[in-house]
Structure 1
């Protein structure tokens, strides 16, 4: 057996074999090890469905690649993966569900996935066994279906071997050690003992430059061995198999296989199985299992059944397929399937570790296996994938994550598989958890909260007497009840002043003798002078955008870095890893995550200076906030009442304004002070949704939307923030990439009752030429607004395009960057 390899994949389920195949195909010397037999984890009892797309752009690409890849496996390996291309019919009982499917359709169109909509009459004509009188319609994608999980895994394993990979079974990993240049993986040979697998005394080491863990249900053990947190915990999933249905058997005599049925409003899927049906429900109260470890006695095993838990879903299947009412049950399963708190898998570099890669937490592992292998192999061998994988990055969860939190959120995620997925969805489990000191004050003032990286953050301020379910009932795929409140907030900030809680911002202190040289190399813009700030970007090695920073320079070698609140661990890991690599060259660099030490209030609007003048303490308070003493894009230490404040003159909304960074223990005091001072100046509390609309009026790019690892800063239109006279990480790769598409701001003459969500396709002459990455309503222009990427030849101001919303095409016009106040006169306003 080999003891030295380029890449070691740990885990022999569908995901692990898909990764081994693609690493071998990329030319890497690859070994896969499995503690039991291939497919002995969740793979063996998976139903094998292949849903092509959902609302995630990255996941849709992964699923699409898998479906296409599986169709060619037999020709390549000689093994039939058991792929039945029967189609997938997503049925809708409500208008809201049809709206959801139309948004799904938008994502599918941007990814090039074929689909069609059907009326109830068309469904009944094609598939007469389905009851349709209470349906609104369906979304049908005929190119997918279901596959045999064991067969596709074995086919990928054979393909990996043909490409030079080695696969070894009955090997368990007991330890990982990084030497600085490679991983030494301590292993034990597994042997049968009384029906259980136990580690023998035969131990050995495997040396690997890179390691990928795809350990499925064993993710918590993997996390302990690596000394990290992995919020992948299994949840019980039951499904039942019926005896043959005579009506289905008769229908099949003259018809092809029935498509997979998804009645999302009834919370189940159904597919044909040897003349009968498989029912897979996603019911309430399915428990998380293996919170800390998988028992040695649990191999290809199942849990005891709890059929009462799925009685409601079973009865709804009988309603939808009346012929199934008299059919008996043939088999039933209750096995573990891994989840994560947001339902997306964890794919990418492990936090804090070099050359350690995670592929964990797959609730749709069969669908994702091929695509995960393809895109993860790109990340490992080329530096980045061709799509932005940040939404799947394991570091989207920080060190505050606990086992209890992950287990309860994973249970919630399971229950929400078929819940309406509004883009403004906010799930309630485990909340509130991370709260700023002003949380209770905000709640008393009508705040309706969203969660970002565990933090509670006001999305908008609703009525003071709002019932507890107000926000839930306000959600919609069109303009929900919340829309009027966000609109009023945006108007107030443009006309008077608004106060936004931005405490969740990520904040790092970077200092030391090497800090200046390091940050000059790490970011693409000039570093600011002492007392000034700059907007800048850290690039990947392939030249795309890794992180956006506002850099404040406190002293010659002391900097304060502010970045997106959703990405604290993600940013911290990259910053510290790059600094460690460069410390020998640049000198000592001290980096501290100070996110939880400072609260942040963003005060902006035409009256913001007047409000601060009410409470600022200075020898000459009338001038301390003037352009002369406190110009735009600068920082000053000021005192507001008794609160010391690091004030930064910048506003994400494009108005005169300041970010007020202050000791977090003084947040309540400062909040009260600002609200009292703002009473006579028209101050209004503003949430994240209004802020998102306002920043689009200024064409301010947002990380995770316009900014990501699939576009360079030049493609994002950020040339003014790039200093090509200096050397910086990713510079040459950025230049070599050129301009594949351009980021633009557009105004939209859209429907009267809806705004774009940033998932829609952009078209020209009937051809898809780009997609929106953000969307909303513009109070300045009185119409819909959006940002996105289009073909560079169609990015000129004035270009006419179309956007598809709710299956209709609407007029789009490309406008100049910062269409609102393009000269920044309001931001620079003196006083």
Structure 2
């Protein structure tokens, strides 16, 4: 066995073999893949092999699209038939709301150029007469996907990898990882069969590898323990059954091509043709998580006992939808582990806290995602970034310090049963909640707060009626304007007309302090650093010059900085800061990075009456002037006192109104909440949730990380030159300048439907030509119409340009506005008093 390689891939399923293949295709000539048993012996061998395009995620849609196209090329390259049957995919709907879900998905499909069409029940019956269309509203049809043989496609990728120089070693199990300055030393042990089990032998080898990729599937928990990290990737049982041949299907096939894959989403199952019969795969309730603490050594290519009672409802539904299957017997059954994550998307990217360790774990749709994952992960590893923003799949998106095995297992069970639950864009799933709460949680709840989750942390989305049921707003959700819309509208108006109070405690917060802090941050970020007592908005760039993260930097002292970033990026930013500190070194002096996220609460107070409200509470000899523009200008920080609570007050407002962020000791949060509410009524104070705040920030064209800002666009493409200081040197500068302006961020006002707003995934058109896409969407109370932000080709970014936006499968007029269409001169923010 070779003992020194550039890249070592651990795991010989479809995902691992694809990664090895694509690393070699990207130019890395020294790649090895290890498999503890035989190729495909994990979840790959018992996968049903479906290749569904349907996905609400922009990144995941691209991954699936690449896979489907790539698999069609493998036979020509390798001579092996990958077993791809392009039979199409018919996703049926029993309700109008399900059809709305498909219309919303269609906007993502249009932005990614995914072929699809809508069908009526009559069209379905005419084309596929074996389907009972009673009770159907319609369907979404993908003509270019279908299903594939998982073992065949894996073997084809393995052969392609070997042809490109990849070494594939079977019967070797990884038992240890150790980082040695600039490489990994991976201890591997030869395995052998004994009594039907796979057992380690005494033969042990240490492999040196510059990079390691883990694609260990159901063994992800064992892998995490060996690496000393946490992962939420835990398997869940998935059953499917195979019937005997259906005479009606056999007869139909005499004069027709293969039947398309059928999905009755409201009945929670898929069905595909298999040797004249049917495969039924349900996503039923109460499927249990398995192997929470690791896969037993005795479990190889094994299965669990079938639980037919658990899937009885789905089985009877299949008979209703395909009546000819009623008299057909069962031929085979499968109940095996499929790895999941809490949101159902895989973990792809750098491991937290580790160098050159890459994760590709938690694939619930591994066959569909394998090809694209290999392609885009290879780009991340060999080029520094992928051509699409992979941040939504980053392994650190859940955080690391707070998540437990119990939480992950219960959320993964929920993700499994939600495969066919309506995917509302405003959904908030209920399992394991509430878990992480701020002190003011119960007070907010009594005021009607309906909460969303950011990194496990409860945050008010909106404040509903006081007599609302104690739930996570299930009844309020919609693909159009949900039951929450009217409350968000009232909250947004309050910020524009009086004053609103937003709980922003979920922000990530770090302190960077020490003699070398200034030099470090100056090199890390692209804007000028603020003076003491001032703040700046700035960006850290990726190795490709795109936006890696966004920081509000507050300079507390000459060598002390307080960094605030998005709540969902806590672990992501913590990992990046620590690794960047190591990369850039301490040539200019020592500095310390401290995570203070849970030490500080944050209330954002904003609106025309914000100063008057605070003036009643601030402890100062002349309270009417301490908050004036002269003493407390915009974009500055002051330590003030509100009653008995010390406050780090920052004069910014994400809503574009006069306002302050009130950063306070978390243990004093309830005191501060009560104090603000006690004097707030006379000033029209209204608690405000995240949804109204999101609408308001779009009226000011404020970019949001994960939407307008990400690793697929530079700050200059985001049209933020005022936050980029080209006179200084900073990481990613040359790459940013070399990239140029491929597309440009815009704000559009939309004459949309009366009952729906864009969600931020819609395609933008000039005439019949697609010229861009939205990245954010919502409603503007200032303009009384829909609003969105997104990217178009630079020549279409001129204010006044007339575009069309696709909302609910209809085209609506949109117009490019000037940046910050509401109060473009920022007069309201700077108003004195």
The reply to whether TM is greater than 0.5 is: yes
* Distance in 2 separating the partners of 1:469 and 1:665: 27
Which residue in 2 is equivalent to 1:761?
A: 763
Aligned-pair distance for 1:535? 0.3
* Distance in 2 separating the partners of 1:797 and 1:365: 44
SS in 2 for 1:319: helix
Which residue in 1 is equivalent to 2:439?
A: 437
Unaligned runs of 5+ in 1: none
Map 1:98-497; keep pairs closer than 5 Å. 98-398=99-399, 399-469=401-471, 471-497=473-499
Tell me if 1:26 matches 2:26.
yes
Which residue in 2 is equivalent to 1:818?
A: 820
Which residue in 2 is equivalent to 1:715?
A: 717
Which residue in 2 is equivalent to 1:90?
A: 91
1:322-361: per-residue Cα shift (whole Å, max 9, x none)?
1111111010000000000000000000000000000000
Aligned-pair distance for 1:584? 3.1
| Structure 1 contact 53–59 (Cα < 8 Å) conserved | no
1:2-59: per-residue Cα shift (whole Å, max 9, x none)?
1111100000000000000000111211100000000000000000000013100000
SS in 1 for 2:389: coil
Aligned-pair distance for 1:586? 2.6
SS in 1 for 2:209: strand
* Distance in 1 separating the partners of 2:435 and 2:823: 39
Aligned-pair distance for 1:587? 2.0
Map 1:726-805; keep pairs closer than 5 Å. 726-805=728-807
Query: If the length of structure 2 is used for normalisation, what is the TM-score?
Result: 0.99
SS in 1 for 2:176: strand
* Distance in 2 separating the partners of 1:180 and 1:135: 61
* Distance in 1 separating the partners of 2:590 and 2:632: 32
| Structure 2 contact 429–472 (Cα < 8 Å) conserved | no
Which residue in 2 is equivalent to 1:648?
A: 650
Aligned-pair distance for 1:212? 0.1
SS in 2 for 1:158: helix
Aligned-pair distance for 1:470? 7.0
Aligned-pair distance for 1:305? 1.1
| Structure 1 contact 236–334 (Cα < 8 Å) conserved | yes
Which residue in 2 is equivalent to 1:703?
A: 705
| Structure 1 contact 583–589 (Cα < 8 Å) conserved | no
Aligned-pair distance for 1:677? 1.3
* Distance in 2 separating the partners of 1:585 and 1:427: 47
Aligned-pair distance for 1:469? 4.3
Equivalenced residues, count = 831
* Distance in 1 separating the partners of 2:635 and 2:469: 42
Which residue in 1 is equivalent to 2:40?
A: 39
Tell me if 1:586 matches 2:588.
yes
RMSD, aligned α-carbons: 0.6
1:519-565: per-residue Cα shift (whole Å, max 9, x none)?
00000000000000000000001100010000000000000000000
1:253-280: per-residue Cα shift (whole Å, max 9, x none)?
0000000001000000000000000000
* Distance in 1 separating the partners of 2:471 and 2:610: 34
1:578-620: per-residue Cα shift (whole Å, max 9, x none)?
0122233232120001000000000000000001011110122
Aligned-pair distance for 1:133? 2.3
SS in 2 for 1:289: coil
1:735-761: per-residue Cα shift (whole Å, max 9, x none)?
000000000000000001000000100
Query: If the length of structure 1 is used for normalisation, what is the TM-score?
Result: 1.00
Aligned-pair distance for 1:193? 1.2
Aligned-pair distance for 1:666? 0.2
* Distance in 2 separating the partners of 1:227 and 1:320: 49
| Structure 1 contact 149–366 (Cα < 8 Å) conserved | yes
* Distance in 2 separating the partners of 1:155 and 1:193: 29
* Distance in 2 separating the partners of 1:586 and 1:510: 14
1:448-477: per-residue Cα shift (whole Å, max 9, x none)?
000010000000000000013471011000
| Structure 2 contact 347–395 (Cα < 8 Å) conserved | yes
Map 1:502-541; keep pairs closer than 5 Å. 502-541=504-543
* Distance in 1 separating the partners of 2:177 and 2:298: 24
SS in 1 for 2:135: coil
Which of 150-159 and 463-472 deviates more? 463-472
Which residue in 2 is equivalent to 1:671?
A: 673
* Distance in 2 separating the partners of 1:824 and 1:805: 31
| Structure 1 contact 514–583 (Cα < 8 Å) conserved | no
Which residue in 1 is equivalent to 2:55?
A: 54
1:776-829: per-residue Cα shift (whole Å, max 9, x none)?
000000000000000111000000000011111000100000000000000001
Aligned-pair distance for 1:186? 0.4
Which residue in 2 is equivalent to 1:74?
A: 75
* Distance in 1 separating the partners of 2:798 and 2:269: 47
| Structure 1 contact 693–776 (Cα < 8 Å) conserved | yes
Map 1:566-605; keep pairs closer than 5 Å. 566-605=568-607
Aligned-pair distance for 1:683? 0.4
1:381-436: per-residue Cα shift (whole Å, max 9, x none)?
00000000000000101121110000000000000000000000000000000000
1:465-504: per-residue Cα shift (whole Å, max 9, x none)?
0013471011000001110000000001100000000000
Aligned-pair distance for 1:438? 0.3
* Distance in 1 separating the partners of 2:413 and 2:603: 34
SS in 2 for 1:585: coil
* Distance in 1 separating the partners of 2:433 and 2:469: 17
SS in 1 for 2:488: helix
* Distance in 2 separating the partners of 1:443 and 1:362: 36
Tell me if 1:13 matches 2:19.
no
Unaligned runs of 5+ in 2: none
SS in 2 for 1:192: strand
* Distance in 1 separating the partners of 2:510 and 2:818: 33
| Structure 1 contact 53–64 (Cα < 8 Å) conserved | no
Distance 1:793 1:217, change over 3 A: same
